[in-house]
Amino acid sequence: MADEHNSLDRRAALAGAAAALAGLGLASCIPATPGPAGRFAMRLRIIEAGANGVLGASFLDTGSGESVGLNGYARFPHASSLKLSLAAMVLAREQAGLIDAERTVRWTREDLMAVSPFTTERLEQGATLRELARAAQVSSDNAAANVLLRELGGPGALTAFWRSLGDETSRLDRTEPELNLVRPGELRDTTTPDAMARTVAALLYGPLLDAPRRAELRQWLIETGTGLDRVRAGLPAGWPAGDKTGTSLASGMGSVYVDIGFVEPPGRAPVTFATYFRAAQQHLRVEPAAQAVLAECGRVLAQWAAR
């Protein structure tokens, strides 16, 4: 009887959620008899319904290949999240013998822009390609990203790198800061949650990099502090995780918050994630409530990973 009552309670809760979402015009997104994946997708839809914006999320189990998400096909801007792939490309080209990652390069004061802490500090002495890759990932240094793109062949080279991984969706067309100017529906400088969750898995857990370079890239993600209030805020303490964020508050483009990365639940294969939230309102600064939307995605991810 207890199991019967629990089953009835669960069905009642799902029915209540469906009724609530019906008032928001979202009932058609809920499976009639949700299975496990459907229930987690519904939780993401409920987060979106209360967030005043569009949420895109994709979680990928790297062991089984199983995934769950919401709006996984929809395009969102990379913003600074592209710097994870850029850092990985430096390591991959070094491994292939195509570049010397210890080569020192220099830049000018005119190359500096907002959020360029490392390149500002090292303006006089320059830095190696490896140092610039780490700075682009860990401190989201915009000038470091532009210098790397210049040295590696431009935005098209990063697009080609994604294609070499089997990612036929992600693309980069411009450099900082123009790459943030992406209106809804535009293709330039965009990806999708499903594509990027797979790409992150290829970068961190696929055969692209040897073990030392995979460990180096993984450590850079762990050291990145910009995502501590996003997906990682919703994960259990003690679960190894790392990420790369992106934020676009460009006037007329809307407000977009991005977080992509990995989590390694105990006793299970790693999970990669790609989350995007486009707020309906234009924000003048990073809004804690918008970051909290992605933290809620982290809680759903943790529940799904522990299923």
User: What is the C-alpha to C-alpha distance for residues 164 and 244, in angstroms, rounded to an integer?
Assistant: 21
> Measured between alpha carbons, how far is 92 from 94 in angstroms, rounded to an integer?
5
Distance between CA atoms of 22 and 20, rounded to whole angstroms?
5
Residue 152, classed as helix, strand or coil, is helix
Q: Is 80 part of the annotated catalytic residue set?
A: yes
Tell me which of 48, 94, 131, 176 is the catalytic residue: 176
Catalytic-residue membership of 139:
no
Helix (H, G, I), strand (E, B) or coil at 64: coil
80, 140, 248, 255: which is the annotated catalytic residue?
80
Residue ranges in the chain assigned as alpha helix (H)? 2-22, 36-49, 82-95, 117-121, 129-138, 142-152, 155-164, 193-205, 211-223, 288-305
For 105, list phi and psi in degrees, rounded to 5. -125, 160
Catalytic residues, by residue number, are: 80, 176
